[in-house]
Amino acid sequence: MKLDTRAIRYLTAEDWRVLTAVEMGSKNHEVVPTPLISQISGLRGASGVNRSISNLAKVGLIARVKNAKYDGYRLTYGGLDYLALNTFIKRKSIYSIGNQVGVGKESDIYVVADESGKQRILKIHRLGRISFRTVKANRDYLRNRNAASWMYMSRLAAMKEFAFMKVLKDNGFPVPTPIDQARHCVLMELIDSYPLRQVTSIADPPKLYADLMSLIMRFASQGLIHGDFNEFNILVHEETQEPVVIDFPQMVSIDHPNAEEYFDRDVQCIKTFFARKFGFESEEEGPDWKDVKRTGKLDVEVEASGFSKKQAKELDKYLQQIAKLNERDGDEAGGDVSDENDDDQEEEDRGSGMENEDDEQPDNSNLSEDSCEMKNEAET
Ligand code: ADP
Ligand code: MG
Protein backbone atom coordinates (compact mmCIF):
# COMPACT_ATOMS: atom_id res chain seq x y z
CA MET A 1 0.00 0.00 0.00
CA LYS A 2 1.09 3.53 -0.67
CA LEU A 3 2.02 5.90 2.09
CA ASP A 4 -0.19 8.91 1.56
CA THR A 5 0.84 11.63 3.94
CA ARG A 6 -1.24 14.44 2.50
CA ALA A 7 -3.64 14.53 5.42
CA ILE A 8 -1.08 14.30 8.20
CA ARG A 9 -0.71 18.04 8.81
CA TYR A 10 -4.46 18.62 8.76
CA LEU A 11 -5.48 16.29 11.56
CA THR A 12 -6.64 18.11 14.67
CA ALA A 13 -5.55 17.25 18.20
CA GLU A 14 -8.95 15.55 18.66
CA ASP A 15 -8.43 13.49 15.52
CA TRP A 16 -5.11 12.23 16.87
CA ARG A 17 -6.70 11.34 20.20
CA VAL A 18 -9.44 9.41 18.48
CA LEU A 19 -6.96 7.64 16.19
CA THR A 20 -4.89 6.67 19.22
CA ALA A 21 -8.06 5.49 20.96
CA VAL A 22 -8.86 3.18 18.04
CA GLU A 23 -5.35 1.79 18.21
CA MET A 24 -5.61 1.21 21.95
CA GLY A 25 -9.05 -0.35 21.63
CA SER A 26 -7.69 -2.70 18.95
CA LYS A 27 -5.57 -4.45 21.56
CA ASN A 28 -8.62 -6.19 22.94
CA HIS A 29 -11.20 -5.73 20.21
CA GLU A 30 -11.02 -6.79 16.63
CA VAL A 31 -13.70 -4.21 15.94
CA VAL A 32 -13.58 -1.31 18.37
CA PRO A 33 -17.11 -0.25 19.36
CA THR A 34 -17.81 3.45 18.88
CA PRO A 35 -18.69 4.07 22.57
CA LEU A 36 -15.35 2.55 23.57
CA ILE A 37 -13.49 4.82 21.15
CA SER A 38 -15.26 7.73 22.72
CA GLN A 39 -14.44 6.56 26.23
CA ILE A 40 -10.75 5.88 25.59
CA SER A 41 -10.28 9.18 23.80
CA GLY A 42 -11.44 10.97 26.93
CA LEU A 43 -13.05 13.66 24.82
CA ARG A 44 -16.19 15.26 26.15
CA GLY A 45 -19.19 15.36 23.89
CA ALA A 46 -20.12 12.75 21.33
CA SER A 47 -20.29 15.19 18.47
CA GLY A 48 -16.56 15.94 18.55
CA VAL A 49 -15.73 12.25 18.64
CA ASN A 50 -18.08 11.53 15.78
CA ARG A 51 -16.62 14.34 13.74
CA SER A 52 -13.12 12.94 14.25
CA ILE A 53 -14.26 9.42 13.45
CA SER A 54 -15.72 10.60 10.21
CA ASN A 55 -12.58 12.64 9.36
CA LEU A 56 -10.34 9.67 10.01
CA ALA A 57 -12.54 7.26 8.08
CA LYS A 58 -12.65 9.64 5.13
CA VAL A 59 -8.88 9.61 4.73
CA GLY A 60 -8.72 5.88 5.35
CA LEU A 61 -6.94 5.84 8.69
CA ILE A 62 -9.69 3.81 10.30
CA ALA A 63 -12.24 1.61 8.59
CA ARG A 64 -15.85 1.07 9.49
CA VAL A 65 -16.67 -2.56 9.98
CA LYS A 66 -20.21 -3.10 8.89
CA ASN A 67 -20.97 -6.74 9.29
CA ALA A 68 -20.02 -6.97 12.94
CA LYS A 69 -22.62 -7.42 15.65
CA TYR A 70 -22.07 -3.87 16.67
CA ASP A 71 -21.03 -0.70 15.00
CA GLY A 72 -17.31 -0.19 15.13
CA TYR A 73 -14.00 0.63 13.54
CA ARG A 74 -10.59 -0.85 13.14
CA LEU A 75 -7.24 0.74 12.52
CA THR A 76 -5.91 0.44 8.95
CA TYR A 77 -2.25 0.18 7.99
CA GLY A 78 -2.62 3.81 6.89
CA GLY A 79 -3.69 4.75 10.42
CA LEU A 80 -0.78 2.86 11.91
CA ASP A 81 1.57 4.63 9.47
CA TYR A 82 0.26 8.00 10.63
CA LEU A 83 0.67 7.13 14.29
CA ALA A 84 4.25 6.02 13.73
CA LEU A 85 5.07 9.07 11.61
CA ASN A 86 3.56 11.37 14.17
CA THR A 87 5.78 9.84 16.83
CA PHE A 88 8.85 10.38 14.66
CA ILE A 89 7.80 13.95 13.89
CA LYS A 90 7.25 14.72 17.57
CA ARG A 91 10.66 13.28 18.44
CA LYS A 92 12.17 15.34 15.62
CA SER A 93 13.49 12.20 13.96
CA ILE A 94 11.61 13.02 10.77
CA TYR A 95 10.64 16.34 9.30
CA SER A 96 9.67 15.51 5.73
CA ILE A 97 8.87 12.44 3.69
CA GLY A 98 10.28 11.86 0.24
CA ASN A 99 10.15 9.18 -2.39
CA GLN A 100 9.68 5.51 -2.08
CA VAL A 101 12.99 3.92 -3.00
CA GLY A 102 12.54 0.29 -2.36
CA VAL A 103 9.99 -2.38 -2.06
CA GLY A 104 10.76 -5.55 -0.28
CA LYS A 105 8.43 -8.49 -0.12
CA GLU A 106 7.14 -7.25 3.17
CA SER A 107 8.30 -3.71 3.56
CA ASP A 108 8.16 -0.29 1.95
CA ILE A 109 11.27 1.87 1.98
CA TYR A 110 11.16 5.67 1.86
CA VAL A 111 13.72 8.41 1.87
CA VAL A 112 12.86 10.94 4.57
CA ALA A 113 14.68 13.93 6.00
CA ASP A 114 15.16 15.55 9.37
CA GLU A 115 14.86 19.27 10.04
CA SER A 116 18.34 20.01 8.77
CA GLY A 117 17.54 18.20 5.51
CA LYS A 118 19.68 15.21 6.27
CA GLN A 119 18.32 12.19 4.46
CA ARG A 120 17.45 8.98 6.17
CA ILE A 121 15.76 5.70 5.34
CA LEU A 122 12.35 4.83 6.71
CA LYS A 123 11.54 1.14 6.55
CA ILE A 124 7.88 0.35 7.07
CA HIS A 125 7.28 -3.28 7.85
CA ARG A 126 4.20 -4.77 6.21
CA LEU A 127 3.98 -8.33 7.29
CA GLY A 128 1.08 -10.23 5.89
CA ARG A 129 1.36 -8.64 2.49
CA ILE A 130 2.58 -11.86 0.97
CA SER A 131 -0.48 -13.71 2.06
CA PHE A 132 -2.75 -11.02 0.60
CA ARG A 133 -1.02 -11.24 -2.73
CA THR A 134 -0.96 -14.92 -3.31
CA VAL A 135 -3.69 -17.15 -4.54
CA LYS A 136 -6.66 -18.01 -2.45
CA ALA A 137 -5.39 -21.39 -1.34
CA ASN A 138 -2.41 -19.71 0.27
CA ARG A 139 -4.45 -17.13 1.96
CA ASP A 140 -6.28 -19.95 3.66
CA TYR A 141 -2.95 -21.09 4.98
CA LEU A 142 -2.50 -17.95 7.03
CA ARG A 143 -6.09 -16.99 7.36
CA ASN A 144 -6.14 -17.35 11.11
CA ARG A 145 -4.50 -13.95 11.28
CA ASN A 146 -6.37 -10.70 11.03
CA ALA A 147 -5.28 -7.20 10.20
CA ALA A 148 -4.49 -6.34 13.82
CA SER A 149 -2.32 -9.36 14.24
CA TRP A 150 -0.37 -8.52 11.06
CA MET A 151 0.23 -5.11 12.50
CA TYR A 152 1.47 -6.67 15.70
CA MET A 153 3.83 -8.93 13.75
CA SER A 154 5.08 -5.95 11.76
CA ARG A 155 5.81 -4.16 15.00
CA LEU A 156 7.76 -7.17 16.27
CA ALA A 157 9.75 -7.22 13.03
CA ALA A 158 10.60 -3.53 13.43
CA MET A 159 11.56 -3.96 17.08
CA LYS A 160 13.74 -6.93 16.25
CA GLU A 161 15.39 -5.22 13.32
CA PHE A 162 16.17 -2.12 15.37
CA ALA A 163 17.53 -4.12 18.30
CA PHE A 164 19.82 -6.18 16.08
CA MET A 165 21.03 -3.18 14.08
CA LYS A 166 21.92 -1.40 17.28
CA VAL A 167 23.90 -4.26 18.71
CA LEU A 168 25.63 -4.88 15.37
CA LYS A 169 26.50 -1.23 14.85
CA ASP A 170 27.81 -0.91 18.40
CA ASN A 171 30.08 -3.85 17.72
CA GLY A 172 31.60 -2.51 14.56
CA PHE A 173 29.64 -4.42 11.94
CA PRO A 174 29.04 -2.68 8.60
CA VAL A 175 25.32 -1.97 8.96
CA PRO A 176 23.38 1.30 8.65
CA THR A 177 23.25 3.32 11.87
CA PRO A 178 19.84 2.75 13.45
CA ILE A 179 18.24 6.06 14.42
CA ASP A 180 14.76 5.46 15.79
CA GLN A 181 11.95 2.95 15.90
CA ALA A 182 8.23 3.40 16.40
CA ARG A 183 5.50 0.85 15.97
CA HIS A 184 6.13 -1.00 12.68
CA CYS A 185 8.77 1.44 11.41
CA VAL A 186 12.53 1.67 11.60
CA LEU A 187 14.46 4.82 10.84
CA MET A 188 18.07 4.40 9.81
CA GLU A 189 21.03 5.96 8.08
CA LEU A 190 20.78 6.16 4.32
CA ILE A 191 23.59 4.26 2.67
CA ASP A 192 24.65 5.88 -0.55
CA SER A 193 24.98 2.70 -2.53
CA TYR A 194 23.21 0.05 -4.57
CA PRO A 195 22.23 -3.47 -3.73
CA LEU A 196 24.88 -5.88 -4.99
CA ARG A 197 22.39 -7.29 -7.42
CA GLN A 198 22.18 -3.97 -9.28
CA VAL A 199 25.85 -3.10 -9.24
CA THR A 200 27.10 -3.46 -12.78
CA SER A 201 30.81 -3.57 -12.21
CA ILE A 202 32.80 -4.82 -9.27
CA ALA A 203 36.48 -4.00 -9.52
CA ASP A 204 37.68 -6.98 -7.54
CA PRO A 205 35.10 -9.76 -7.19
CA PRO A 206 37.45 -12.14 -5.32
CA LYS A 207 38.05 -9.46 -2.70
CA LEU A 208 34.38 -8.68 -2.22
CA TYR A 209 33.66 -12.41 -2.06
CA ALA A 210 36.29 -12.86 0.62
CA ASP A 211 34.95 -9.85 2.54
CA LEU A 212 31.44 -11.26 2.49
CA MET A 213 32.51 -14.72 3.59
CA SER A 214 34.54 -13.28 6.43
CA LEU A 215 31.52 -11.22 7.40
CA ILE A 216 29.40 -14.37 7.62
CA MET A 217 32.07 -15.89 9.88
CA ARG A 218 32.28 -12.74 11.96
CA PHE A 219 28.53 -12.78 12.50
CA ALA A 220 28.72 -16.43 13.49
CA SER A 221 31.62 -15.92 15.88
CA GLN A 222 29.42 -13.38 17.65
CA GLY A 223 26.62 -15.93 17.85
CA LEU A 224 24.57 -14.71 14.88
CA ILE A 225 23.41 -15.83 11.44
CA HIS A 226 21.92 -13.24 9.13
CA GLY A 227 19.53 -15.74 7.54
CA ASP A 228 18.88 -13.79 4.34
CA PHE A 229 22.41 -12.92 3.28
CA ASN A 230 22.06 -12.37 -0.43
CA GLU A 231 22.64 -9.86 -3.24
CA PHE A 232 19.48 -7.96 -2.30
CA ASN A 233 20.50 -7.37 1.28
CA ILE A 234 24.09 -6.38 0.67
CA LEU A 235 24.60 -2.78 -0.36
CA VAL A 236 27.87 -1.88 -2.05
CA HIS A 237 29.36 1.61 -2.03
CA GLU A 238 30.06 2.47 -5.62
CA GLU A 239 33.40 4.09 -4.97
CA THR A 240 34.85 2.18 -2.07
CA GLN A 241 33.08 -1.08 -2.97
CA GLU A 242 32.66 -1.70 0.74
CA PRO A 243 29.68 -3.88 1.59
CA VAL A 244 26.99 -2.81 4.04
CA VAL A 245 24.51 -5.40 5.27
CA ILE A 246 20.80 -4.65 5.76
CA ASP A 247 17.54 -6.44 6.55
CA PHE A 248 17.57 -8.18 9.92
CA PRO A 249 14.12 -9.45 10.97
CA GLN A 250 15.07 -13.05 10.28
CA MET A 251 18.42 -13.10 12.11
CA VAL A 252 18.93 -16.09 14.37
CA SER A 253 21.31 -17.28 17.03
CA ILE A 254 23.87 -19.95 16.22
CA ASP A 255 22.06 -21.95 18.90
CA HIS A 256 18.86 -22.01 16.82
CA PRO A 257 17.80 -25.58 15.95
CA ASN A 258 18.15 -24.82 12.21
CA ALA A 259 21.32 -22.77 12.57
CA GLU A 260 23.55 -24.94 10.41
CA GLU A 261 21.02 -24.95 7.60
CA TYR A 262 20.66 -21.16 7.69
CA PHE A 263 24.41 -20.70 7.83
CA ASP A 264 24.96 -22.97 4.82
CA ARG A 265 22.23 -21.22 2.92
CA ASP A 266 23.80 -17.80 3.50
CA VAL A 267 27.16 -19.11 2.27
CA GLN A 268 25.59 -20.80 -0.72
CA CYS A 269 23.67 -17.69 -1.74
CA ILE A 270 26.90 -15.76 -2.13
CA LYS A 271 28.65 -18.59 -3.93
CA THR A 272 25.81 -19.00 -6.40
CA PHE A 273 25.57 -15.29 -7.06
CA PHE A 274 29.32 -14.78 -7.62
CA ALA A 275 29.52 -17.79 -9.91
CA ARG A 276 26.63 -16.61 -12.06
CA LYS A 277 27.21 -12.90 -12.09
CA PHE A 278 31.02 -12.71 -12.15
CA GLY A 279 31.96 -16.23 -13.19
CA PHE A 280 33.93 -16.35 -9.98
CA GLU A 281 34.37 -19.52 -7.99
CA SER A 282 36.71 -19.56 -5.05
CA GLU A 283 39.42 -22.18 -4.95
CA GLU A 284 38.95 -22.46 -1.24
CA GLU A 285 36.05 -24.50 0.00
CA GLY A 286 33.79 -23.28 2.76
CA PRO A 287 33.50 -21.43 4.99
CA ASP A 288 32.13 -24.35 6.87
CA TRP A 289 29.79 -24.55 9.84
CA LYS A 290 32.40 -26.70 11.59
CA ASP A 291 34.82 -23.77 11.48
CA VAL A 292 32.53 -21.51 13.49
CA LYS A 293 34.11 -20.62 16.83
CA ARG A 294 32.06 -18.61 19.23
CA THR A 295 33.96 -15.69 20.67
CA GLY A 296 31.07 -13.38 21.53
CA LYS A 297 27.44 -13.40 22.59
CA LEU A 298 25.62 -10.73 20.63
CA ASP A 299 22.69 -13.13 20.28
CA VAL A 300 22.33 -13.02 24.06
CA GLU A 301 23.11 -9.33 24.35
CA VAL A 302 20.34 -8.39 21.94
CA GLU A 303 17.76 -9.94 24.27
CA ALA A 304 18.65 -7.37 26.89
CA SER A 305 17.95 -4.55 24.47
CA GLY A 306 14.18 -4.67 24.50
CA PHE A 307 13.36 -7.52 22.18
CA SER A 308 12.42 -10.43 24.37
CA LYS A 309 12.75 -14.16 23.82
CA LYS A 310 8.98 -14.47 23.80
CA GLN A 311 8.64 -11.87 21.09
CA ALA A 312 11.42 -13.52 19.12
CA LYS A 313 9.52 -16.79 19.28
CA GLU A 314 6.28 -15.24 18.10
CA LEU A 315 7.99 -13.63 15.13
CA ASP A 316 9.98 -16.74 14.32
CA LYS A 317 6.80 -18.76 14.13
CA TYR A 318 5.35 -16.32 11.65
CA LEU A 319 8.51 -16.20 9.55
CA GLN A 320 8.52 -19.97 9.37
CA GLN A 321 4.95 -19.94 8.09
CA ILE A 322 6.00 -17.52 5.38
CA ALA A 323 8.99 -19.66 4.47
CA LYS A 324 6.63 -22.57 4.10
CA LEU A 325 4.38 -20.50 1.90
CA ASN A 326 7.28 -19.42 -0.31
CA GLU A 327 8.26 -23.00 -0.69
CA ARG A 328 4.84 -23.90 -1.97
CA ASP A 329 4.41 -21.00 -4.33
CA GLY A 330 7.79 -20.12 -5.66
CA ASP A 331 7.91 -16.65 -7.06
CA GLU A 332 4.22 -16.06 -6.89
CA ALA A 333 4.75 -14.71 -3.42
CA GLY A 334 7.12 -12.06 -4.75
CA GLY A 335 6.47 -8.51 -3.76
CA ASP A 336 5.64 -6.28 -6.67
CA VAL A 337 3.89 -3.13 -5.65
CA SER A 338 0.69 -2.57 -7.42
CA ASP A 339 -1.87 0.00 -6.55
CA GLU A 340 -4.12 -2.67 -5.27
CA ASN A 341 -5.93 -1.63 -2.15
CA ASP A 342 -4.66 -3.82 0.62
CA ASP A 343 -7.18 -2.58 3.06
CA ASP A 344 -10.04 -4.11 1.12
CA GLN A 345 -8.19 -7.35 1.28
CA GLU A 346 -7.49 -7.02 4.93
CA GLU A 347 -11.17 -6.58 5.41
CA GLU A 348 -11.82 -9.78 3.54
CA ASP A 349 -9.11 -11.56 5.41
CA ARG A 350 -10.47 -10.67 8.78
CA GLY A 351 -10.73 -14.08 10.31
CA SER A 352 -10.71 -15.07 13.92
CA GLY A 353 -9.04 -13.07 16.66
CA MET A 354 -5.42 -12.42 17.49
CA GLU A 355 -5.40 -14.95 20.22
CA ASN A 356 -4.92 -17.79 17.79
CA GLU A 357 -1.53 -18.78 19.03
CA ASP A 358 -1.59 -22.53 19.10
CA ASP A 359 -1.99 -23.23 15.42
CA GLU A 360 0.18 -26.07 14.30
CA GLN A 361 3.88 -25.50 14.03
CA PRO A 362 4.72 -25.68 10.34
CA ASP A 363 7.36 -28.08 9.17
CA ASN A 364 10.37 -26.08 8.13
CA SER A 365 12.70 -28.84 7.11
CA ASN A 366 12.79 -27.55 3.56
CA LEU A 367 13.98 -24.05 4.25
CA SER A 368 16.86 -24.41 1.84
CA GLU A 369 14.46 -23.79 -1.02
CA ASP A 370 13.85 -20.36 0.31
CA SER A 371 14.21 -16.90 -1.08
CA CYS A 372 17.68 -16.47 -2.45
CA GLU A 373 17.58 -19.41 -4.78
CA MET A 374 14.19 -18.45 -6.02
CA LYS A 375 15.36 -14.90 -6.59
CA ASN A 376 18.38 -16.21 -8.45
CA GLU A 377 16.15 -18.21 -10.72
CA ALA A 378 13.95 -15.25 -11.32
CA GLU A 379 16.87 -13.28 -12.62
CA THR A 380 17.78 -15.70 -15.38
P1 ADP B 1 12.96 -6.14 2.89
O2 ADP B 1 12.99 -6.67 4.28
O3 ADP B 1 11.57 -5.87 2.48
O4 ADP B 1 13.73 -6.98 1.92
P5 ADP B 1 15.22 -4.32 2.96
O6 ADP B 1 15.62 -3.84 4.31
O7 ADP B 1 16.03 -5.41 2.37
O8 ADP B 1 13.67 -4.70 2.96
O9 ADP B 1 15.22 -3.05 1.97
C10 ADP B 1 14.73 -3.14 0.66
C11 ADP B 1 15.54 -2.25 -0.29
O12 ADP B 1 15.52 -0.88 0.16
C13 ADP B 1 17.02 -2.59 -0.35
O14 ADP B 1 17.28 -3.58 -1.30
C15 ADP B 1 17.66 -1.26 -0.71
O16 ADP B 1 17.57 -1.03 -2.10
C17 ADP B 1 16.78 -0.26 -0.01
N18 ADP B 1 17.35 0.09 1.31
C19 ADP B 1 16.99 -0.43 2.50
N20 ADP B 1 17.68 0.12 3.53
C21 ADP B 1 18.52 1.02 2.98
C22 ADP B 1 19.48 1.95 3.52
N23 ADP B 1 19.73 2.03 4.83
N24 ADP B 1 20.14 2.75 2.65
C25 ADP B 1 19.89 2.68 1.32
N26 ADP B 1 19.00 1.84 0.76
C27 ADP B 1 18.30 1.02 1.56
MG1 MG C 1 15.70 -7.36 1.81
Q: What is the pLDDT of residue 351?
A: 33
Residue 37 CA, ligand 2 centroid: distance in Å: 37
Q: What is the pLDDT of residue 356?
A: 32
What is the arithmetic mean of pLDDT over 47-64? 96
Q: What is the pLDDT of residue 133?
A: 52
What is the arithmetic mean of pLDDT over 351-373? 32
Protein residues whose CB sits closer than 6 Å to any atom of ligand 1 = 101-102, 104-107, 109, 121, 123, 176, 188-191, 195, 232-233, 235, 246-247
Q: Is the ipTM of this complex over 0.90?
A: yes
pLDDT above 90 coverage of the chain, percent = 64
pLDDT single digits (tens) 137-162: 455 545 556 778 889 999 999 999 99
Residue 136 CA, ligand 2 centroid: distance in Å: 25
Which residue's alpha carbon is nearest to atom 23 within ligand 1? 190
* The pLDDT of residue 347 is above 70: no
Q: What is the pLDDT of residue 328?
A: 66
Is residue 343 annotated as a catalytic residue, yes or no? no
Residue 247 CA, ligand 1 centroid: distance in Å: 7
This prediction has a pTM of 0.85
The domain over range 1-75 is classified in CATH as 3.40.190.80: no
Q: Residue 132's pLDDT band (boundaries 50, 70, 90)?
A: low
Q: What is the pLDDT of residue 368?
A: 30
Q: What is the pLDDT of residue 343?
A: 40
For 193-316+366-379, the fitting CATH number among 1.10.510.10, 3.40.50.1370, 3.40.50.1220, 3.40.50.300 is 1.10.510.10
pLDDT single digits (tens) 75-86: 999 999 999 999
Q: What is the pLDDT of residue 318?
A: 82
pLDDT single digits (tens) 268-292: 999 999 999 999 999 999 899 999 9
For residue 108, which atom of ligand 1 is closest to its CA? 3
Q: What is the pLDDT of residue 239?
A: 83
* The pLDDT of residue 180 is above 70: yes
pLDDT single digits (tens) 81-131: 999 999 999 999 999 999 999 777 789 999 999 999 999 999 999 988 765
Q: What is the pLDDT of residue 1?
A: 66
Which one of 1, 103, 109, 125 would you pick to mutate in the ligand 1 pocket, going by the greatest count of ligand atoms within 8 A of its CB?
109
What are the φ and ψ backbone dihedral angles of 91, each rounded to 5 degrees? -80, 0
Average pLDDT of every residue of the chain: 83
Q: What is the pLDDT of residue 142?
A: 55
Which residue's alpha carbon is nearest to atom 14 within ligand 1? 232
Q: What is the pLDDT of residue 169?
A: 98
The full set of domain ranges for the chain reads 1-75, 193-316+366-379
Q: What is the pLDDT of residue 145?
A: 62
Write down the catalytic residue from 108, 228, 342, 349: 228
What is the arithmetic mean of pLDDT over 288-312? 92
